[in-house]
Amino acid sequence: MRSKKTQRRLREMFEIINKVEPRFGSALMAYAWYRSEPLPGFSGWNAMQLVRSGRAADMFDDINAVDAGVDP
């Protein structure tokens, strides 16, 4: 059985990938972005690193700001 922390991280990962999938055209491309794209404003960390460090809320804030047309 997976720990609650692992389950939360997996849920956050899927929520983030689902939220950004329309930008990339596929879940596979969104997952590649999640794992590898350094994010401006987060010292070059990618989304996966933010989730692992407990900062998924910051990632959601950033995604929502971009979706709203705000430059985070």
Answer whether 45's CB lies under 8 Å from 39's CB.
yes
Per residue in 58-67, pLDDT (tens digit) is: 999 999 998 8
* pLDDT confidence of residue 52: 94
Cβ-based neighbour number of residue 69 at 10 Å = 6
Rounded CA-CA distance 1/15 in Å is 21
Per residue in 11-25, pLDDT (tens digit) is: 999 999 999 999 999
Rounded CA-CA distance 37/31 in Å is 10
pLDDT at 51 over 70: yes
Averaged confidence pLDDT in the chain: 92
